[in-house]
Structure 1
Amino acid sequence: MLIRQVSSAAKGPVILVVLSAGGVNLEPIEKDVDAVIWAGYPGEEGGQAIADVVFGKYNPGGRLPVTWYKSNYVWQLPMTSMRLRPVDELGYPGRTYKFFNGSTLYPFGYGLGYTNFSYKVVSTQNSVEKKLAFNQYCLSIHYKQSANVPPCSAALVENLDCNEDITVEIEVINMGSIDGSDVVMLYSRLPEGIVGAHIMQLIGFQRTFVQAGKSETVTFKLSSCKSVSMVTDSAYMVLPAGQHTMIVGSGPNAVAFPFLVKLAKFRK
């Protein structure tokens, strides 16, 4: 293979530039190169942009918008299966970062640059409470037998008013010696024990430029109806009660913190 031959003959780092619409199989040569730049279809000025990144003129801060699966993924489930959730009895690992339970080549949201960032949660809001009207009702969702089930376990999102009722403030610290931008990605995870729950879901992202050794604060204003909800097997969008988890970033630099959702029935 040409890439492997170039790598073995090279006197310095070897950077592989991939021009493709999506993920491709890099497993055979991943260890033969020092870095990978996925440039998609960059257009007329793409060559100059790639050169600026390679030679350090520009500090990249992109994140993968898709999951790059390993090559054996195509044999783990039929491509005609549109189910997102895993099917354990058939050995299907699921689809997308929200449900895929196997190993990946590069996960959703992955990206490198010439500096490192750390996060600190500075917001004080750690809960939200919803009161159901007299004509609304609690909805039962499926839990594992060992789970702690709240008295009112969930409510239909269509019955709730939750327009930007969550505020999360994150301090982004540039730990390196080079200025750069970071895409701050905020995820949520449902309470433990809910059957069919997603692994996590992206609920907000913002790009911020941070000087070397400095910090910037980003603020997320979110709707609990969208951010900490789930879609059931019967296609209802519901807001589960209980101890949710918010996660900033991914990998070793990720910061997680609890977020409580309370549901209260109407009482005369």
Structure 2
Amino acid sequence: MIRDLLISLRIQIRVVFQRLLNWLDWSVFLIFFGGLDQSIECENVDRTSITVPDIQLSLIHQLEKVVRSSIHVVIISGSGLDLTYIRDSPQFGSLIWMGYAGQSGGLAISNVVFGQYNPGGRLPITMYPASYVDNVSMFDMQMRPLSTNPGRTYNFYTGKAVYEFGIDRSYTTFLYSWNNDTSMSSSYLILSLIKKNYHEHRVLVRLLRVNVTNTGDMSGDDVILAFVRSRNATMNGEISSIKQLFGFEHVSLAVNQTKAVFFPLNVRHLLIIARDGTKWLHPGSYDILIGQQHMHTFKLYGQSIQWASKKHVFPSNENI
């Protein structure tokens, strides 16, 4: 009974698809809506694939054959998908990803598609290639990369992402410029930072200032992301994160308008967590990135010190 119902449903879908394709032959502007729903991703369901559903890919391939104009794609999902094919095909004019929307989601996305609203969000996830699920065991929760694991999240993933965490698209452009006192120190003694306070959130290494300018032809919003990264691939045998987000600020800017945003860099953003859960502050060079742009480099010097919430472990031979 159920099998017959599914076969009948598939036949009906094929008929609808064929009628749709015949009608689209003369289309000037086409928007394809696809993605996932809660029959594929929900609390009680583990996905075994991160590809676009086969039936949608089949329709996409058929659309490419009959549609003469560019195809614009909107993908709706609550998690990542491998969108490589859509991204790389020359027939697709644009690609928008959005999370599950509420009752006004249709109006919101139409305003974005037709240029009535300038989006200013950032991708909150890393979108992996389809092969990722074959490279990472569902039983392996290790964040750092291993010989059997390419790592997880933007912090440690060593492969090439389809779309990286934090990317954005806008109808305007923004320029970031470094705006800090050049006389401030770019080297910090680890012991001097450790002795300030036991609370890692309160030990300020430096307050950073960045100017953001709207250099395009349309007012818009921007979310400025601040990252720190170590130039040392490993520290005391532990693999360093590729980069670590330590701040973000949202601004709304008119054309040619400039605003200053501030990012406090605290000790906790520089700590390396070892496999046993202990936290360490290591010497070395660190880069400040605003978005993808390198802005500044500073150094920590001295010996590695374990950070503790109540009592720090100081080396006996540290030269202050």
TM-score in terms of structure 1 length: 0.80
Looking at structure 2, the residues matched to 126 and 177 of structure 1 have their Cα atoms a distance apart, in angstroms, of 38
Q: Structure 1: any 5+ residue segments left out of the alignment?
A: 134-153
Q: Which residue in the other structure is 2:211 paired with?
A: 171
Question: For the structure 1 residues 255 and 25, does the alpha-carbon distance in structure 2 shift closer, same or farther, using more than 3 Å as the test?
Answer: same
Question: For the structure 1 residues 231 and 131, does the alpha-carbon distance in structure 2 shift closer, same or farther, using more than 3 Å as the test?
Answer: closer
Cα shift at 1:41: 0.6
Question: For the structure 1 residues 126 and 187, does the alpha-carbon distance in structure 2 shift closer, same or farther, using more than 3 Å as the test?
Answer: farther
Does 1:206 pair with 2:263? no
Does 1:217 pair with 2:279? no
Is the 2:179–2:209 contact (alpha carbons within 8 Å) kept by the matching residues of 1? yes
Q: Which residue in the other structure is 1:185 paired with?
A: 225
The structure carrying a bigger helix percent of its residues is 2
Is the 1:168–1:220 contact (alpha carbons within 8 Å) kept by the matching residues of 2? yes
Q: Secondary structure at the match of 2:158?
A: coil
Name the count of aligned residue pairs: 241
Question: For the structure 1 residues 158 and 231, does the alpha-carbon distance in structure 2 shift closer, same or farther, using more than 3 Å as the test?
Answer: farther
Q: Secondary structure at the match of 2:217?
A: coil
Supply the AA of the counterpart residue of 1:54.
V
Cα shift at 1:98: 0.5
Looking at structure 2, the residues matched to 5 and 44 of structure 1 have their Cα atoms a distance apart, in angstroms, of 31
Cα shift at 1:231: 1.0
Question: For the structure 1 residues 157 and 94, does the alpha-carbon distance in structure 2 shift closer, same or farther, using more than 3 Å as the test?
Answer: farther
Q: Secondary structure at the match of 2:227?
A: strand
Does 1:93 pair with 2:150? yes
Q: Which residue in the other structure is 1:244 paired with?
A: 286
Q: Structure 2: any 5+ residue segments left out of the alignment?
A: 1-57, 304-317
Question: For the structure 1 residues 216 and 233, does the alpha-carbon distance in structure 2 shift closer, same or farther, using more than 3 Å as the test?
Answer: same
Q: Secondary structure at the match of 2:124?
A: coil
1:129-157 per-position Cα deviation (integer Å, ceiling 9, x unaligned): 35648xxxxxxxxxxxxxxxxxxxx9799
TM-score in terms of structure 2 length: 0.68
1:159-187 per-position Cα deviation (integer Å, ceiling 9, x unaligned): 56643342010111222111111110000
Q: Secondary structure at the match of 1:256?
A: strand
Q: Which residue in the other structure is 1:142 paired with?
A: none
Question: For the structure 1 residues 102 and 242, does the alpha-carbon distance in structure 2 shift closer, same or farther, using more than 3 Å as the test?
Answer: same
Question: For the structure 1 residues 159 and 127, does the alpha-carbon distance in structure 2 shift closer, same or farther, using more than 3 Å as the test?
Answer: farther
Q: Which has the larger radius of gyration?
A: 2
Q: Which residue in the other structure is 1:258 paired with?
A: 297
Cα shift at 1:21: 0.5
RMSD between superposed Cα atoms in Å: 2.6
Looking at structure 1, the residues matched to 123 and 177 of structure 2 have their Cα atoms a distance apart, in angstroms, of 23
Identity of aligned residues (%): 30
Question: For the structure 1 residues 111 and 156, does the alpha-carbon distance in structure 2 shift closer, same or farther, using more than 3 Å as the test?
Answer: farther
Alignment of 1:1-268 (within 5 A): 1-30=58-87, 31=89, 32-88=91-147, 90=148, 92-124=149-181, 125-127=184-186, 129-130=188-189, 132=191, 159=198, 162-195=202-235, 196-223=239-266, 225-250=267-292, 254-263=293-302, 265=318
